[in-house]
């Protein structure tokens, strides 16, 4: 297993980790790679490789879909400071499996891998395992 560290700079942020994952799997023997996010307020998604515009649109949509100003039972009963980040994370994935073809990620031409931060800025982990 490889651990990639992801540094985020905003509360809600999608970070393209595709190049870093490619480095880990480059030429690897195996049929797939599993990406796992060991955090309850972060996730991982496959999304269009459209540069910053796609990432910013997804960030903005998640902020609109799950509004921080709502009344959150989680906050009232447990005093948690970030219930919206848990809900945003629930809308993404905590793990992905991507096939490998000839030692490379078998992503579609317009696909990229994004680490999703919902309680930043933080230093996070992304586990990469070749199977």
Phi, psi angles (nearest 5°) of residue 17: -105, 5
The tokens for 105 are 């990620």
The tokens for 66 are 């799950």
Instruction: Assign 33 to helix, strand or coil.
Output: strand
Instruction: Assign 76 to helix, strand or coil.
Output: helix
Range of 104's domain? 2-130
The model's pLDDT over 77-95, given as tens digits with 9 standing for 90+, comes to 666 678 899 999 999 999 9
Provide the pLDDT confidence category of residue 71 given band limits of 50, 70 and 90. confident
Q: Is the CA virtual torsion 75, 14, 54, 49 positive or negative? A: negative
Percent with pLDDT over 90 in the chain: 80
> Residue 38 pLDDT > 80, yes or no?
yes
The model's pLDDT over 87-116, given as tens digits with 9 standing for 90+, comes to 999 999 999 999 999 999 999 999 999 999
Nearest to 63 by CA among 104, 116, 112, 109: 116
**What is the tally of structural domains in the chain?**
1
Q: Note the pTM of the prediction, 2 decimals.
A: 0.92
Nearest to 115 by CA among 57, 31, 59: 59
Provide the pLDDT confidence category of residue 14 given band limits of 50, 70 and 90. very high
CATH of the domain at 24: 2.60.120.460
């Amino acid at each position: 297993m490889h651990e990639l560290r992801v540094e985020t700079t905003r509360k809600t942020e999608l970070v393209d980790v595709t190049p870093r994952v490619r480095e880990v799997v480059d030429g690897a023997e195996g049929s797939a790679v599993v990406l796992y996010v060991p955090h309850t307020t972060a996730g991982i998604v496959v999304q269009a490789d459209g540069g910053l515009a796609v990432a910013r649109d997804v960030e903005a949509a998640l902020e609109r879909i799950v509004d921080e100003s709502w009344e959150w039972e989680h906050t009232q009963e447990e005093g948690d400071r970030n219930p919206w980040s848990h809900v945003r994370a629930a809308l993404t994935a905590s793990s992905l499996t991507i096939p490998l073809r000839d030692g490379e990620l078998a992503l579609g031409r317009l696909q990229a891998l994004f680490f999703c931060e919902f309680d930043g800025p933080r230093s996070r982990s992304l586990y990469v395992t070749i199977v």
